[in-house]
Structure 1
Amino acid sequence: MIKYERINDQIKNKGADELTEMAIDGLIENLCADLKQSKQQIEDKGGLIIRICKIAKQLLFQNEVVAEFLLEKDGFFEELFLIYKEILPEQVFKGFANILVTMIDSNSNELRLAMKQEKFVTPVVHFLQSKDEYVVIVVVLHLCFILIQMKETGDLQQKDEFLGIMQRNKGLDFLVQLINNPNIERKNIKKYAAIIICSLHKGETMQDEFRNIVIKTLKQNLGDDNNDKESVQFSALALARLAESEGNHADIVTDDFSAVLRKIISSTDPRTIDQGLILTLNLLHYGSDQVKEKVRDAVPWDEVREMMHNGDAKLKETAELLDQWMAIII
């Protein structure tokens, strides 16, 4: 323990460049070696593991170079997730989980996509059963920011291979249980759980048992004026992916669908707007005549046509494509 008190003093008040140099010059390697030893005696070494995570968290904070280093094969994060695999939900608390938040914040989307591997997902899904809602929200955020990443192939109705993985490791069941749990107090838990479930079902029809409540939760998030920009972006993206299967359309276009779609397309955020346009295109492309009629009546067409003259090339292209679809439908 004295060793880590000394290390903590050494890194205190250091700048990003100095911390990066210390990490690469052997500090991360030493932390990793200590993690490996602790893995054999998790109950006895819990305090040491937390101290190691605290040091790694400080090195990692908003530092993508250190993040890449931690993700190397047989490196720090692989060892940490092997430990997570062995810890019971009731044994996990803030000190064990905090580093996951820092990892999310420090990574680019490219590094998050690199983390979309079963070894960085399955070891933490059982923590979704924790009674500590802080632990649950940290794990839900970790899973969301990783699983929503996707290497697009350009194929229509491209499926997400992680749906099968999350079914096998019970992660999907745990997420559905969270949404159905009336005692959850942190509403962000249900919000991000719904995003994960919908995104995983890209081009797939969700099961009848939970389709309605999950889509309803997602639309409520999109209709909430108090939500952060990133969760709204993710919600619009997840709903657009879900719309690639006609089996989900009935639940998407019910209730307050018109208001939700107008709100997405009228957003001030280009990414959210783009996902709103893609959602519309997917509903028109894969939908029945009845769905197409509902979509046609819901879209704020004047705003779409304004986007055809937008300086954002991607928005302009998507708006033009949607306008062409409208000409076919009428």
Structure 2
Amino acid sequence: MIKLFMKNFMQLTLLVSLFFSCNEVKDNDFDEDDLNKEIENARLSELSEIYFVGNYAGNLSVYKYDYKTDKSKVFWHSNDERVIDLLISPDYKSAYFISKRKQRLKSSQPAIEKGRLYRIDFEVNKVESITQLEEGIQVIPFWTDNDRFTLVINSIDKTIASYINKNTQVYNRFGKLLSDNTEIYDLTKDGYPITRLPSINYKSPNELFTVIEKNDSIYIRQQKSKKEIKTRFTSKKILQIGWAENNKHLIMLLKSKDQLKQSPNDLEKTLLAIYDLQKKKTVKMFETVGYKRFVLIGDFLIFDNGFARDSHIEIFKLESLSNYKTIKINGGCGLRNI
């Protein structure tokens, strides 16, 4: 009787195991089938031009790289102003940039005096002056989404030195001011004002994959099967995530968590990784000093490399995993600033 029970129990266990195993394979097949269809039917954007910041006649200016002619030309320059930040919308259809005449303090977020906000009209290739900026100790510009650009300026109150005025302006992509609000922070009670930046895109646009940080490692979760694939990256802080337009590749800009304890004067080493979602593995890595940010246009990965006068821009083809072009300007250049 016991032998019969054990035999039936083992058969039942085997059947249950096979059932769940088949379901897992089925879910995995769905993940792969959906991804293959996405890649096959994807329509990639056409790379026509790249706007970036470069040195010209001693001042940082806006350049434009033309893909067809394979040449870079000065797009906007002023003898009295220098560009400190160029911000292009996530869909690469609109842009704002900030210029300044004089910088009083050195910091990661530049202090501004006699600054000005400009907008680039991509359709007519012209620059439009939007507004004169108020004096501030910190400037934080960012795109909230494809249609809204936010500019935060923190300044010391002219009457009470322990007060910080946080001015937040929101513009649409056409340069229209949507809102203008000022909040007052008492440093002794409220502390210094904190601005929340847009969150990293951990989930793919097609919602098939999600990047997960767990137990000091980075995983890729398949949405349907819920399977988590462990990557080779450990003890890394994610700085930026990008999903290729055809959904085949995941791009991650990473920094070692050990560097968070280093001196601010130490050169920051970063790792740019390309993960193939079809092959489920990392297919390319760039590790050096100077990778600050990247953009994805069509089949191209475009990223910063190098520091200061040696900074340049790399254009990399994702499908062939090959270098296409290096943009160099005498004095250095970068996608957002130098």
Judge same fold: TM > 0.5, yes or no: no
RCO comparison, higher one (Cα < 8 Å, 6+) = 2
If you compute each CA radius of gyration, which structure gives the higher value, 1 or 2?
Answer: 2
Greater strand share, structure number: 2
> What TM-score range do you get, normalising by the shorter chain?
under 0.3
Greater helix share, structure number: 1
- TM-score, normalised to structure 2's length? 0.22
